[in-house]
């Protein structure tokens, strides 16, 4: 019987030299401190109007900033992993050449699927986007938006499907540990996306299932 996760052993190898859970706790604590602390610093230093726009995401710049500031916590996180585990960014995504090939393959497949879904199952009238967005402005901001979103999703993938999945897999070969546990943490992280308790629970369920799919894909 083929081992579906044989390549996963190569993926986790960089983490095998440092498996102390205390270091994992410190790294995650530093990441959370940066993630929650930097917005607080912004709140103290920036004018009230800019802060309100940032938290509400009511302007294009504010929305871009919400995604882009993930880069601050990502930088702190990568530095912490290097300090406490002696490894860097690429150790959390696997061999660069293989990761790049897989990234392109998955990106094209998922983009094609999403395009079909949007065409076959439109969630709103095609006239609505024109009301909210000027096409030239949307096109002009697209490169910045793509970069900001890439920063945000890369940060989450590094933490949950890279670092935590590798560290937990070094502690146990059970998929309940290295696949399910990071996915539950990932899902819980999204509780605050909801505006109410029921919405928050829906986000947790959705994100946990997404996390399982991403962990399996990794």
**pLDDT tens-digit map of 163-177:** 999 999 999 988 899
For residue 39, tell me if it sits in a domain.
Answer: yes
For residue 43, tell me if it sits in a domain.
Answer: yes
pLDDT in tens, 90-144: 999 988 888 889 889 988 998 999 888 877 776 655 555 555 667 788 888 889 9
Q: pLDDT tier at 54 (50, 70, 90 boundaries)?
A: low
Span 12-16, mean pLDDT?
93
- Read off the tokens for 100: 């790049």
For residue 191, tell me if it sits in a domain.
Answer: no
Q: What mean pLDDT is reported for the chain?
A: 86
For residue 198, tell me if it sits in a domain.
Answer: no
User: Which pLDDT score is estimated for 126?
Assistant: 54
- In terms of pLDDT, which residue wins out, 157 or 46? 157
For residue 166, tell me if it sits in a domain.
Answer: yes
Q: pLDDT tier at 62 (50, 70, 90 boundaries)?
A: confident
pLDDT in tens, 181-213: 999 999 999 998 888 898 999 999 999 999 999
pTM (predicted TM-score): 0.85
Q: How far is CA 135 from CA 62, 111, 126, 132, 217, in A?
A: 19, 20, 13, 10, 35
With beta carbons less than 8 A apart as the criterion, state whether 69 and 38 touch. Answer: yes
User: Which pLDDT score is estimated for 92?
Assistant: 94
For residue 27, tell me if it sits in a domain.
Answer: yes
Separation between Cα atoms, residue 180 and residue 187, nearest integer Å: 10
- In terms of pLDDT, which residue wins out, 193 or 155? 155
User: Which pLDDT score is estimated for 6?
Assistant: 83
- Read off the tokens for 93: 């995504």
| Eight-state DSSP code of residue 46 | S
Q: pLDDT tier at 67 (50, 70, 90 boundaries)?
A: confident
Q: pLDDT tier at 60 (50, 70, 90 boundaries)?
A: confident
Q: How far is CA 143 from CA 19, 104, 109, 138, in A?
A: 39, 18, 21, 10
Domain residues for the domain of 54 are: 6-93+141-171
For residue 205, tell me if it sits in a domain.
Answer: no
Q: Could you give the number of structural domains in the chain?
A: 1
User: Which pLDDT score is estimated for 70?
Assistant: 92
For residue 56, tell me if it sits in a domain.
Answer: yes
């Amino acid at each position: 019987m083929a081992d579906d996760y044989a390549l996963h052993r190569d993926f986790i190898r960089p983490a095998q030299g440092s498996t102390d859970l205390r270091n994992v706790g410190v790294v995650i604590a530093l990441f959370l401190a940066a993630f929650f602390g930097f917005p607080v610093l912004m709140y103290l230093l920036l004018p009230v109007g800019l802060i309100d726009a940032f938290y509400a995401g009511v302007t294009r710049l504010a929305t871009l900033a919400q995604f882009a500031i993930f880069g601050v916590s990502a930088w702190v996180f990568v530095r912490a992993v290097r300090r406490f585990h002696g490894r860097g960014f690429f150790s959390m995504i696997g061999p660069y050449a293989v990761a790049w090939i897989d990234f392109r393959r998955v990106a094209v497949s998922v983009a094609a699927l999403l395009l079909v879904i949007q065409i076959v199952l439109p969630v709103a009238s095609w006239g609505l986007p024109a009301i909210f967005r000027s096409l030239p402005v949307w096109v002009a901001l697209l490169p910045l938006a793509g970069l900001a979103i890439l920063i945000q999703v890369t940060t989450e993938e590094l933490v949950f499907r890279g670092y935590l999945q590798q560290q937990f897999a070094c502690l146990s070969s059970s998929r309940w540990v290295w696949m399910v546990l990071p996915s539950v943490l990932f899902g819980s992280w999204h509780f605050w996306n909801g505006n109410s308790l029921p919405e928050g629970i829906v986000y947790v369920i959705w994100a946990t299932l997404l996390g399982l799919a991403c962990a399996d894909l990794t």
